[in-house]
Amino acid sequence: MIHTKRYYSHEMEAGGRSLLVEGPVEPERLAAMRFDDGLTAFRPPEQQQKALVEIAGLPEGRIVVARDGELVLGYVTFLHPDPLERWSQAKLENLLELGAIEVSAKVRSGGVAKTLLHVSFLDDAMEDYIVITTEYYWHWDLKGTGLDVWQYRKVMEKVMGSVGMVWMATDDPEICAHPANCLMARIGKRVPAESVAAFDAMRFQNRRFY
C-alpha cells in the first residue's frame, strides 16, 4: 500500500493565542520546533518530541500539530499499531492507530483537539484506512481537568466522534482492565470488506463456545 500524504492547515484562536494547525509535518520541520512544557501526558516534552520525529519519518506516520509560532501546543499521531499489540496481528497495511492526542492546558478549552482531528481527516487518503484509538484512563489528565473518569471518557468520545470514530466492543485484556477504557474506530469508505473482517477477528479472540 502506498501511503500518500497531503498537507493541510487551518488557522484558529484558542487561549488568547493564534494557532496554526497543520500536517502531516515532515520530521525535519518537527525537529526544529519547540514543545510546550505542558505536554507531559506520555513523557517529558523533549522525549516526546523525539518520538514524534521518528513517527513522522515512517512511511505511514502522520503528525499533525497545533503551534503558536515555533511552539507546539498540541499534536495528534497516526501510525501502524505496535508489533506487540494485538491490533498488528493481521498485518493490515490499511490499519492506522491514533496513538496519541495531547493539548497543552494553556489552550485546552478552545476546541484544539477537534481541530487537530479535523485537519488530520481532510486528506482523502484517510478513506483507505481503518483508524483505531485505544483509550486508557491512566493516560487522562484527570487532575488537571478536574473531571472524573466517566466525564473524561464522555469528552473523549465526543472529540473522537467529531470525525466519525465510534465505540466498538472488544475482548482485549488491556481495554477490559477498566470499564472506562474503550476502543474506537473509523472505517474509511474505501476499506475492502476483507480488511474489515480481519479487523473484527482481531477485536474478539477469547470467545468460548459451549
Domains of the chain: 8-203 (3.40.630.30)
Q: Which grid coordinates belong to 95?
A: 490499519
What confidence category does residue 209 fall into, taking pLDDT thresholds of 50, 70 and 90?
very low
Residue 144 phi, psi dihedral angles, 5° rounding: -70, -30
Q: Which grid coordinates belong to 72?
A: 507546539
- Cα 43 to chain centroid distance, Å, stands at 16
* pLDDT, averaged across the chain: 94
Determine contact, residues 182/161, Cβ cutoff 8 Å. Answer: no
Pairing of strands 71-79, 34-35: parallel
- The pLDDT score that the predictor gives to residue 16 is 94
b (16+ CB within 10 A) / e for 68-93: beebbbbbbbbbbbeeeebbeeeebe
pTM value is 0.93
